[in-house]
Amino acid sequence: MTRAWTLPVLLVLSGSVVATSLALEERPGSAVALLLMFVLIAGVNSPLVFPRSVGALEAQRRSEADGRPVVFWRPGCAYCLRLRIRLGRGARRLHWVDIWRDPAGAAAVRAAADGNETVPTVVVAGRPHVNPDPEWVREQLARST
């Protein structure tokens, strides 16, 4: 769990140091703006932006029951964030697996991506798709409901 929060915490700490130096230079407006920017970037790179993750085995079980795709992701991944944003509210209907928190999920991604942990990897009807187009994922989600 701590691995997922390393980048956001480092961003907030770095922003705090820089904002403090700006505040000491009597530039409080710049300090506040910079700190807010660092906090925003930290939030976007945190697990908070994504729907709650489940384990790979639980996601597979749920997907078999309801036909919805499974998305393997990790915090800090720009492609995962792009997929999440482009799916909008529909992203909450997918089954999300954080590969940094679930070793079985990481193993599933390595099996699909020739030994690499390339994310996002989307599994639809038992077939993995590495870094698919968000519109394609949206179509697959629409077909499953």
Is the domain of 100 the same as that of 57? yes
Verify that 115 and 63 share a domain, yes or no. Answer: yes
> What residues make up the domain containing 36?
2-48
If asked whether residues 26 and 63 sit together in one domain, one would say: no
Identify whether residues 40 and 102 lie together within a single domain.
Answer: no
37 and 57 inside one domain: no
Model pLDDT, residue 96? 95
- The string of pLDDT tens digits covering residues 90-128 is 888 999 999 999 999 999 999 999 999 999 999 999 999
Of 139 and 44, the structure prediction assigns the larger pLDDT to: 139
Q: What is the per-residue DSSP string for the chain?
A: -HHHHHHHHHHHHHHHHHHHHHHHTT-HHHHHHHHHHHHHHHHHTSGGGSPPP--HHHHHHHHHHH---EEEE-TT-HHHHHHHHHHGGGGGGSEEEETTT-HHHHHHHHHHTTT---S-EEEETTEEEES--HHHHHHHHHHH-
| Whether residue 118 is found in the same domain as residue 131 | yes
The domain that contains 95 carries what CATH number?
Answer: 3.40.30.10
Burial group, residue 133, by CB count within 10 angstroms (0-12, 13-18, 19+): exposed
Same domain, 62 and 123: yes
Q: What is the mean pLDDT of residues 7-21?
A: 93
The answer to whether residues 104 and 76 belong to one domain is: yes
Domain count, the chain: 2
Can you give the C-alpha Rg of the chain in angstroms? 18
Q: At what angle do helices 103-112 and 56-66 cross, to 10 degrees?
A: 70
Q: Check whether 50 has a pLDDT greater than 90.
A: no
Say what the pTM is. Answer: 0.74
Token pair for 65? 């029951």
**Same domain (yes/no): 74, 30:** no
Q: Is the pLDDT reported for residue 1 higher than 90? A: no
